[in-house]
């Protein structure tokens, strides 16, 4: 997939640089321009984005990880399909700046027991949380165990969670995960099924590799490695690293057992057994860690008793102030009282006069408003958001009528509801007036037509009737759609789009032509696996041959002189060996059962003639004679006595 650094995804995520590239997707460091923070954006490869199964698996990762909230699991924050610019199915995750367990193994070769326990405990804690709600990771490997710069261990990549891995044969679809075959459980290889015990097996393989510095099984091809996982037993780590404690050694041996019933049943049980091993290795070690907890600062107890002045203090205060007030004569007090009473009476009269004036003015204004002013107009109630029927029921009691002035599109008001009125709510209109209503036609959306199988010119003609345009154009091989015709659109046909939306199309390049190799003289297993892996359908037949070794290819059609279409049939004939065999020498004098076994192993049918009375019978005669060339399956008669 081309480097998309610099692209703006979904109008929000600005891709900065590539940080990882896998079989299904590429991961970029990106900036969330809306929240101004760095994130990791995982974008599916273009050639897989048209495969519904892969897109489903990609979206399943978002749902599987989003269902989990755990400090040791990489958090998923967003998921979607880029609607503007280059088409891309994307997943947004928290950005873990640091390294992977694979980086540690590259640097150190192998880990000590304590270092391994440091990684295993948080990973198992994360798996226990996933298994508890029925989510199986299915792709545990050192590359998916992340270590942040702060030392936090996180489990990433739930892209294969609850998804099928491989069937009975390796196909082109499964090739995208062959990099993880070193950690696949036997049941995943044999039957393509997995449960929580499969994750336990994979993590056991990771622990073996971390302690020994090498994987338990290695081979020239993924098929060979998968075969060993099914048919061989993972050795104890102590056979390669004598420093591994016996308790940890036994736990890893059980976790990597070929029989799932012998393993810990899930991440929680595995974690508990690992903690028992930790306690055995270091009895003083705390079994529960509260390093992330913060101490609680006690709240200081404040006095609830308010400051009050007692009655006694009030009395004392009055007594202290009273001597400071000068006393007056009785005559002076009487004159002053009369003047004060007159002053109060005059103020009341003036106040009453102002009140009378205000009431007169108010009556005049109200009379003008009601008789000749706007008071004789009706207040229009708000009808926004109502249906026409509801608006009629609201306006009719006020003597008002309505008229639909216009119908317009609205992103906020549902179809058939009123957007606004004229006059608006709270406005006034004359009695028996008409209120103009503006009705919503709903959101402006246009259905994307089915363009599959059309040429670009025909598709452009179809879209002329809709306010939609052709967007970006990409090409892809397709065995069913003719070359030059449209395979698919993004967004897909039948979905709704806004006016002027771009419809991105994928155009067929026809059937992909693949280079074909001649496998004459090579083994039939090699021919079958490699041809099916390249996308061909292989038909195998068997024939006798005096010139070709048993199990090798005698002939092939087509023979590999020219390329062949992907998915086409390739016929191979595999040798059953020579049709003729020689009667083995040394039969005479052999005990009866040994002679019969030797002849039958040579592909011959044995007839026995008994003579004599000896209990133990030996061959006295054979026909045809020894070293005689006969056809495979011929009858040989032996006389025993």
Unique residue bearing structure tokens 């996308």: 535
C-alpha closest to that of 83 among 499, 507, 501: 501
Q: Looking up tokens 């119908």, which residue turns up? A: 407
Over residues 310-340, the pLDDT tens digits come to 333 333 333 333 333 333 444 444 454 555 5
- What per-residue confidence (pLDDT) applies to 1? 58
Residue 21's alpha-carbon distances to 143, 209, 293, 310, 586, in angstroms, are: 11, 23, 37, 81, 64
State the helix-helix crossing angle for 267-281 and 246-255, rounded to 10 degrees.
170
| Parts of the chain with a pLDDT under 50 | 160-179, 287-334, 336, 372
Helix, strand, coil abundance in the chain, percent, nearest 5:
35, 25, 45
Res 304: pLDDT? 38
Find, among 122, 333, 328, 117, the residue nearest to 207 by Cα.
117
In 3D space, the residue among 181, 176, 116 whose CA is nearest the CA of residue 145 turns out to be 116
Pull the structure tokens for residue 463.
Answer: 């879209």
Residue range 333-345, pLDDT digits in tens: 445 455 555 555 5
| Structure-block tokens of residue 213 | 């510095």
The DSSP letter of residue 232 is S
Please tell me the predicted confidence (pLDDT) of residue 314: 37
Listing from the earlier edge strand, what are the strands of the sheet with 76-81? 8-9, 13-21, 25-32, 37-44, 89-94, 76-81
pLDDT score recorded for residue 305: 38
Largest CA distance in the chain: 174
Predicted confidence at residue 344, as pLDDT, reads 55
- Angstrom CA distances, 621 to 587, 591, 599, 603, 618, stand at 9, 12, 14, 19, 9
pLDDT in the model for residue 138: 86
Alpha-carbon Rg for the chain in angstroms:
45
Q: What are phi and psi of 306, to 5 degrees?
A: -70, 155
Residue 60, C-beta contacts closer than 8 angstroms, at least 6 positions apart: 158, 159, 161, 162, 163
Helix (H) or strand (E) holding 272: helix 267-281
Structural domains of the chain sorted by starting position, each given as residue range(s) with its CATH number in brackets: 8-94 (3.30.200.20), 98-281 (1.10.510.10), 379-440 (3.30.10.20), 446-501 (3.30.10.20), 513-575 (3.30.10.20), 582-640 (3.30.10.20)
Task: Identify the pLDDT of residue 224.
Answer: 85
Q: What pLDDT digit, counting tens, does each position of 357-387 carry?
A: 777 777 766 665 555 455 557 888 888 889 9
**pTM exceeds 0.75 for this model:** no
Q: Give whole-number Cα distances, 334 to 325, 326, 328, 342, 344, in Å.
A: 18, 16, 10, 13, 16
Please give the Cα distance from 592 to 405 (Å, whole number). Answer: 111
Q: What confidence score (pLDDT) does residue 155 get?
A: 92
Give Cα 318 to chain centroid, integer Å: 82
Structure tokens that stand for 445 in this block: 């959306």
What are the residue numbers of the active site? 139
């Amino acid at each position: 997939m081309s480097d998309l650094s610099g692209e703006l995804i979904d109008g929000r995520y600005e891709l900065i640089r590539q940080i990882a590239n896998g079989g299904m997707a590429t991961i970029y460091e990106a900036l969330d321009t809306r929240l101004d923070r760095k994130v990791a954006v995982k974008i599916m490869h273009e050639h897989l984005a048209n495969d519904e199964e892969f897109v489903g698996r990609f979206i399943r990762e978002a749902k599987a990880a989003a269902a989990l909230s755990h400090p040791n699991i990489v958090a998923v924050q967003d998921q979607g399909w880029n609607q503007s610019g280059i088409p891309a199915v994307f997943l947004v995750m928290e950005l873990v700046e640091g390294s992977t367990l694979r980086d540690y193994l590259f640097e150190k070769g192998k880990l000590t027991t304590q270092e391994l326990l440091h990684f295993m405990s948080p990973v198992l804690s994360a798996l226990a949380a996933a298994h508890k709600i029925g989510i199986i990771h299915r792709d545990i490997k050192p590359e998916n165990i992340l270590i942040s710069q702060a030392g936090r261990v996180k489990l990433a990549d739930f892209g294969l969670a609850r998804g099928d891995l491989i069937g009975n044969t390796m196909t082109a679809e499964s090739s995208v995960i062959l990099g993880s075959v070193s950690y696949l459980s036997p049941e995943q290889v044999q039957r393509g099924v997995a449960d929580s015990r499969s994750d336990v097996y994979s993590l056991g393989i990771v622990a073996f590799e971390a302690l020994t510095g090498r994987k338990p099984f290695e081979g020239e091809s993924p098929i060979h490695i998968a075969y060993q996982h099914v048919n061989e037993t993972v050795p104890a780590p102590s056979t390669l690293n004598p420093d591994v404690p016996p308790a940890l050694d036994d736990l890893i041996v059980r976790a990597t057992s070929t029989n799932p019933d012998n393993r810990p049943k899930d991440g929680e049980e595995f974690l508990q057994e690992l903690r028992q091993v930790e306690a055995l290795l270091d009895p003083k070690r705390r079994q529960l860690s509260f390093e992330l907890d913060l101490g609680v600062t006690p709240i200081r107890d404040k006095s609830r008793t308010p400051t009050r002045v007692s009655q006694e203090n009030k009395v004392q205060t009055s007594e202290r102030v009273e001597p400071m007030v000068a006393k007056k004569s009785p005559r002076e007090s009487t004159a002053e009282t009369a003047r004060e009473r007159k002053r109060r009476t005059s103020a009341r009269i003036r106040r009453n006069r102002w009140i009378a004036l205000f009431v007169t003015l108010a009556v005049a204004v109200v009379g003008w408003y009601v008789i000749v002013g706007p008071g004789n107009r009706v207040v229009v109630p708000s009808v926004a958001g109502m249906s026409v029927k509801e608006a009629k029921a609201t306006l009719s009691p006020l003597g008002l009528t309505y008229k639909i002035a216009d119908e317009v599109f609205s992103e906020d008001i549902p179809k058939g509801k009123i957007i606004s009125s004229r006059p608006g709510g709270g406005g006034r209109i004359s009695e028996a007036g008409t209120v103009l209503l503006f009705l919503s036609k709903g959101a402006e959306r246009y259905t994307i037509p089915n363009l599959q199988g059309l040429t670009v010119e025909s598709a452009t003609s179809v879209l002329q009737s809709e306010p939609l345009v052709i967007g970006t154009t990409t090409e892809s091989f397709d065995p069913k759609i003719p070359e030059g015709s449209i395979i698919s659109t993004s967004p897909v046909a039948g979905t709704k789009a806004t006016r002027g939306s771009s419809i991105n199309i994928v155009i067929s390049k026809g059937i992909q032509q693949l280079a074909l190799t001649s496998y004459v003289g090579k083994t039939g297993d090699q021919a079958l696996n490699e041809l099916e892996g390249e996308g061909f359908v292989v038909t195998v037949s068997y024939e006798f041959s005096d010139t070709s070794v048993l199990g090798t290819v005698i002939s092939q059609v087509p023979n590999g002189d020219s390329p062949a279409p992907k998915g086409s049939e390739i016929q191979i004939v595999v040798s059953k060996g020579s049709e003729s065999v020689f009667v083995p020498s040394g039969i005479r004098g052999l005990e009866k059962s040994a002679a019969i076994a030797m002849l039958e192993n040579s592909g011959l049918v044995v007839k026995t003639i008994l003579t004599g009375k000896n209990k133990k019978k030996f061959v006295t005669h054979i026909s045809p004679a020894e070293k005689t060339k006969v056809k495979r399956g011929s009858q040989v008669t032996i006389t025993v006595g």
